[in-house]
Amino acid sequence: MKFGKELVSQMVPEWQDAYMDYNFLKSILKDALRCRQMNSRSSPRASMTTSQGPLKRRGSLYRAFSGLTSRYTWNSPGRSSEDEEVILVSSAQEEGSDHRRYQTMFLRLSDEGGEYDLLFFRRLDVEFNKVLGFYKKKVEEVVVEADELSKQMNALIALRIRVEKPVMEKSIQGTNTSIAAIDISPSPASVSVNNTRSGWTQMGMIQEVEMTSEENNEPEDRDDGTVKAADSDHKANRRGANSSNFRSAPISIKEHVKVTVQPQSPVLAANGILMSSNGDMLFTKAELRKAEELMTGAFTEFYQKLQILKSYCFLNQLAFSKIMKKYDKITHHNASKSYLKMVDDSYLGSSDEVSRLMERVEAAFIKHFANGNRRKGMRTLRPTAKREKHRITFFLGCFTGCSLALIVSIIVAVHARNLLKSDGRQKYMETIFPLYSLFGFIILHMAMYAVDIYFWRRYRINYSFVFGFKKGTELGYREVLLLSSGLSVLMLVGVLSNLDMDMDPRMESYKTLTELVPLGLFVVVTCITFCPFNIMYRSSRFFLIHSAFHCICAPFYKVTLPDFFLADQLTSQVQAFRNLEFYICYYGWGDFRTRSNKCDESKLYEAFYFVVAVIPYGMRFLQCLRRLYDEGDIMQGINGLKYFSTIIAVVMRTGHDLRRGVTWKIIAAASSGVATVANTYWDLVIDWGLLRRNAKNSWLRDKLTIPNRSIYFVAMVLNVILRLAWMQNILGFREAPFLHRKALTAIVASLEIIRRGIWNFFRLENEHLNNVGKYRAFKSVPLPFNHD
């Protein structure tokens, strides 16, 4: 693989604009090479002196020996004459900052193709200063974050002492019995940190803190309310140091540090929103466990950030080395040595803050979260990369082939026995078809999600970061297709066996078993979904359950992107919710043994027919209200009004479907038209970020991940057309000549699922590009302690 492609494959997608533009610099060198080749063809003498390597080397040695290059020399140790006669690199301090800008002077402008060399070095300086400035900015950010993690860790140690050693904690001087919080501010006598010390020195204090439960402290030490800690500058001599070499880390309880552990139930969350608790509370072990869990996540995310930052530095250094070697090869100059020496001497090549921070984080994490077990701690900090397994591809092909064979078998069975014209066709479509179509909707949605994942990966959209998946646990498109194909095999086997048992006269005595096949399939799928054992992608299943629970309890939890993204998916599964309601009715109070039900005659069923359709949109409406409350963004209020209009439209269409009449038709058409216009505008402009009149790409947006712009226009047209699928109900197309009403309803619901699948790709693309614009490559990790 060429280095240009390797660089693109290894760069952080959200930081792609901050990397050295290797391809552009390479294009400049190609132009320079083309110019030299054209000149060499027109001048044979020039060809002998420029393109032939041996002649070029002998000429350069002769010029150096004869002293003809002395006019370019300047007295500077460590530089060769070949370097001096090509470039001169200088740096200057920027006004108002401690950053330095580097500039390269090309000394052979009069040479053949010198204008391309000058353009190359000017662009090279721009790229280097860009990379240097970005790297230094990110290092400063992680240093500040390291200071905050140090404070959080000190507070956690104090909380451990208070919860696990309450007797010792009561003897600490200056404590406060309220929950108010934990003061971790070091006193001048214990720790002195000035502005010149970086965050890794603070992080060093974490690993040196010795918990009282781990040390046999003297009684007088406990009376002073201190915990012994060794000076980070004398780490090597810590084991041999006596008690006089330790520094004290104060642990006291004050009002300005709060324990901000989020409540884990809707009731507690509602209490947190509706009332403020100023009274005294006691710390519990549950709070301690949650604080340790949050700190573990914060350390893991911080360590991964340091790894990525170190990789960014290495890749850019390698890119500058590669491009300079390519320059020397094309121009036969020897400029790479002096330029790469400047790169090595700059902050990009000489800074070691990131490496030292990584060492401090490793030591602190292993000590306080892995009980000194380095292998266990490093396994958490550095999770193994996910490997593609061949058996997944094998079973995917196997299940897909079985599904196709079962579909052919069902088609043959239906046509061979002329079931489409049989007397039981109407009853089958009214009872059995909705039971199996529920799984069909789920399979189609999973297949569309797998397609989205495939194209997200192809166009380098970091979907795992956007959704907040734990590293190494995200599902690829093969895994999702494996699950959907496996479910399709179960569903098709049930359909085929149901048809066989219903048609076979020998099975007349097994009518109950015939009708229980869909219910058994539903129970199996439900058990697999909620299975607590580590099988069948447990982390992904629990992530889905966790987000679904937050959707159900929408107003009581802070809304994150996975929560409202899942709620949007559920709005496209209204028919699946209605089929789920039919399950309860059919097996609850319907006579499923004789394949007859009276659900449509029940007023309660009719009422829930309205309610079930409104539930997904109601969850999104409540999520918008919660985001309006948390963020104060008026756009969330407008988004809530959009979903409220959709709720009205769904209710009116459902009323028209059940009641029929001119009045219902007019009201349903008007409300659905308004909701369609609002939803379409929001999809295209807000969610997809398209229809920008003054954008670089006309009527799209400035940045696009798909090179072919026509795909965006096709997607916008499809979105509008598929959103108008509700018109078949208003216009009276309830049943086609060759399709039953239930089948037509299932097709319309499938079109909505396909529209949602298309929406998913462009919605996440827009979110990814927003992260790219803000260089946001790491998720925000909540911390357990708040310093007011």
Q: Under a CB-based contact definition with an 8 Å cutoff, are residues 378 and 366 in contact?
A: yes
**What was the pLDDT predicted at 19?**
94
Question: Angle between the 353-369 and 199-208 helix axes, to the nearest 10 degrees?
Answer: 20
Using one digit for the tens of pLDDT, what is the confidence trace for 470-503?
888 899 999 999 999 999 999 999 998 887 666 5
CA 63 to chain centre: 59
Helices (H), 553-633: 561-571, 574-588, 603-631
Q: Chunk the chain into consecutive blocks of 10 residues (it has 788) and report each block's average pLDDT, rounded to whole numbers.
A: 84 90 91 81 53 40 35 40 66 74 80 79 92 93 91 86 64 38 34 37 43 38 37 39 38 52 53 45 72 88 92 94 91 87 91 92 91 89 80 95 95 84 81 93 97 95 90 90 96 86 58 83 95 92 95 92 95 94 87 77 88 95 95 94 95 87 89 94 95 90 93 96 84 68 91 96 94 78 74
Give me 753's structure tokens. Answer: 């699922």
Reduced to 3 states (helix: H, G, I; strand: E, B; else coil), residue 216 is coil
Three-state DSSP state, 105: strand
Question: Which whole-number Å values give the CA distances from 8 to 23, 293, 313, 457, 521, in the listed order?
Answer: 10, 35, 15, 13, 45
Contact between residue 663 and residue 627 where contact means Cβ atoms under 8 Å apart: no
C-alpha R_g of the chain: 34
Q: What is the pLDDT of residue 269?
A: 52
The Cα–Cα gap between 587 and 48 comes to 91
**4: enclosing H helix or E strand:** helix 3-10
Q: Name the 3-class secondary structure at 104.
A: strand
pLDDT score, position 773:
79
Decide if 748 contacts 728 (C-beta within 8 A). Answer: yes
Long-range contacts formed by 108-111: CB under 8 A, 24+ apart = 108/333
Alpha carbons 555 and 553: distance in angstroms, whole number: 6
CA distance 153 to 202: 11
pLDDT at 418: 80
701-750 pLDDT tens trace: 999 999 999 999 999 999 999 999 888 777 666 666 678 888 989 999 99
CB 641 within 8 Å of CB 682: no
Domain boundaries, the chain: 141-277, 390-775
Tally Cβ neighbours within 10 Å of residue 201.
21
Res 254: pLDDT: 43
Angle at 659 between CA 658 and CA 662, to 5 degrees: 130
**pLDDT number for residue 266:** 56
Distance CA 266, CA 579 (A): 28
Q: Which residues have C-beta within 8 Å of that of residue 89, sequence separation ≥ 6?
A: 102, 103, 104, 105, 338, 339, 342
CB 135 within 8 A of CB 128: no
Distant-in-sequence, close-in-space partners of 144: CB < 8 Å, separation ≥ 6: 199
Closest CA to 586 of 572, 614, 605: 605
* C-alpha 253: how far from chain center: 37
The per-residue pLDDT for 511 is 67
Which of these, 616, 630, 631, 639, lies nearest to 556 by C-alpha position? 630
Retrieve residue 337's tokens. 């040595």
**511's tokens:** 């009518």
The backbone region for 251, taken as left when phi is positive above 0, alpha when psi lies in -120 to 50, beta otherwise, is beta
